[in-house]
Amino acid sequence: MKRICLSLAVLMAVLCLIVSNSEEAESKNLTSMCDIKVSGGQSVDVIIDGSQYGSEWYQSGTEFEIECEEEIAGIYIIWDKKTPIWTLASGGNTNTYGEKGFLHEFIEVENAKKLKITLSESARICEIYVFGEGVLPGWVQVWNEPHEKADLLLMSTHADDEHLFFAGVLPYYAVERGLKVQVVYMTNHNDTQSRPHELLNGLWAVGIRHYPVISDFPDLAGSLGQKGEDVETILNRALTLYDEEEVTRYQVENIRRFKPKVIVGHDINGEYGHGAHMVNAYTLMKALELSNDPEYHKESYEKYGLWDVPKTYLHLWEENKIVMDWDVPLSKFGGLTAYEVSKLGYNEHKSQHWTWFTKWFMGVYNGKERNKASDIAEYSPCEYGLYRSTVGDDVLKNDFFENVELHAEDTPVPTTPEPTITPTPEVTNTNTPDNTVEPTRTPEDGKNDDAGEMILFGAVILVVLALLVITFWISLKRKYK
């Protein structure tokens, strides 16, 4: 009996060790514990206050010396509108960063207690965070470069259109289906403080992990349609603001670069009459006929080759209509629907919450409450039309990828851990940004979710209980033998 009890105790200890090792500790935010000094005595108060909505300007050559009693495993920098070239010196090594252009940039560090950051270009910094070893908090964005090839290319005009008029597309196809989805924006918002960051926060919240492509075309208020104007008038005025040829070349270059199997674009009427949306759709329609022409834009042809897009869907296109169901629960998001996940993405666009879009998308609009995507009748995010196809017409009319074969190397692998969405824990440390939703953890994050840990813990408990029952039964059998 003693031998059985001893064996049971050893087994329980081993199982507990397995469980504890499976739960890697979360990385510690060391920012407030570090001594950060800037050459020239410039203040760092603004860039360590935990808010992305303030920034400080630093000249080229500025050095930041960071020292911490605990070992540093990573640096997370929120640049303002332009990512500079910069160097990081640690442990006797100096590496150059910034070439990828990530506004939200995380860099792993070989455990060190002293770092030196040197700006090779002048730059404005919003925040710097310093982290120790462990699993990063969900709000820390570790971006991958844009895809080399895309299964789906989403041509959004503004930051937030991807969650509003294209609601459901990103969480469903990029995460639930595991396809390579690339987002391309026709305009930028560099004239504002918050919107470039809201753009990234929104994408991260819905599971996008590959950095978007953002054009040099500004968001021009003059392109917005006025009451009583027809589509032709609005489009013609918008084309005086945006150079038609330049935008068309931009569209062609992205088509050739990413070689998408499917493109999803805006309504030709600009949804609610927005001229920039119209320009995006109009130039896309032209680009689809030019992207396979070797005589057009030879520079991008020589760089990327030609491409004829198999399928293109336009929002609200009246021909070859297809209705998407964004109200089906998604397993990769813990039962949330694609529409509900898109609401989490739009929630990050706080500067836009005063607009009528908010009530239209997730409030009460024209006396009707929006609880599902199918509740939205005006400019419905569920309705598309197959504008152009080289693979035949849709029959089932419920999937952008009907009749489409993926790039051979891009076939998604089904055995990936499921991401979860949980609220960001309430903290008292001021070095945590004021995002209210923790982004989805996708397979590319490489971390097991809480559900998996609970399953493992439950299995261990069952094994231990079974062993206890067996031990008790054996002891009774011996006692009354």
Q: Is residue 1 part of a domain?
A: no
Split into its structural domains, the chain has a count of: 3
Q: Is residue 175 part of a domain?
A: yes
Q: Is residue 10 part of a domain?
A: no
Report whether 218 contacts 188 (CB < 8 A): yes
In a shared domain, residues 125 and 167: no
In a shared domain, residues 369 and 472: no
Please report, to the nearest 10 degrees, the dihedral formed by the alpha carbons of residues 384, 387, 393, 394 taken in order.
Answer: -10
Backbone angles phi, psi at 193, to 5 degrees: -80, -45
Domain residues for the domain of 459 are 449-481
In a shared domain, residues 269 and 129: no
SS3 223: helix
In a shared domain, residues 270 and 158: yes
In a shared domain, residues 296 and 187: yes
Distance CA 310, CA 123 (A): 42
Q: Is residue 320 part of a domain?
A: yes
State the maximum Cα–Cα separation within the chain, in Å, rounded to a whole number. Answer: 99
In a shared domain, residues 102 and 157: no
Quote the pTM value: 0.84
Residue 325 exposed, middle or buried by CB count within 10 Å (0-12, 13-18, 19+) = middle
Question: Which of 134, 162, 195 is the last residue in one of the domains?
Answer: 134
In a shared domain, residues 181 and 53: no
Helices vs. strands in the chain: H and E counts, helices first? 10, 16
Q: Is residue 35 part of a domain?
A: yes
Distance CA 268, CA 344 (A): 27
| DSSP characters over 183-222 | EEES-B-TTSSSHHHHHHHHHHHTT--BPPEE-S-B--GG
Q: Which two tokens stand for residue 327?
A: 């109200």
Distance of CA 460 to the CA centre of its chain: 35
In a shared domain, residues 304 and 391: yes
pLDDT in tens, the chain (481 residues): 555 555 555 455 545 544 444 457 899 999 999 999 999 899 999 999 987 778 999 999 999 999 999 999 999 999 999 999 999 999 889 999 999 999 999 999 988 999 999 999 999 999 999 999 999 999 999 999 999 999 999 999 999 999 999 999 999 999 999 999 999 999 999 999 999 999 999 999 999 999 999 999 999 999 999 888 999 999 999 999 999 999 999 999 999 999 999 999 999 999 999 999 999 999 999 999 999 999 999 999 999 999 999 999 999 999 999 999 999 999 999 999 999 999 999 999 999 999 999 999 999 999 999 999 999 999 999 999 999 999 999 999 999 999 999 987 655 544 333 444 443 333 333 334 443 334 333 434 443 444 445 555 555 566 656 666 666 556 655 555 5
Q: Is residue 55 part of a domain?
A: yes
Which residues, in sequence order, are CB contacts of 226 under 8 Å at separation 6+? 234
Please report, to the nearest 10 degrees, the dihedral formed by the alpha carbons of residues 441, 446, 448, 450 taken in order.
Answer: -20
Distance CA 326, CA 324 (A): 6
In a shared domain, residues 104 and 171: no
In a shared domain, residues 129 and 160: no
Find, among 110, 107, 198, the residue nearest to 433 by Cα. Answer: 198
In a shared domain, residues 123 and 166: no
**CATH number of the domain that 93 lies in?**
2.60.120.260
In a shared domain, residues 303 and 184: yes
Q: Is residue 313 part of a domain?
A: yes
**CATH number of the domain that 392 lies in?**
3.40.50.10320
Q: Is residue 83 part of a domain?
A: yes
Find, among 183, 178, 176, 177, the residue nearest to 153 by Cα. Answer: 183
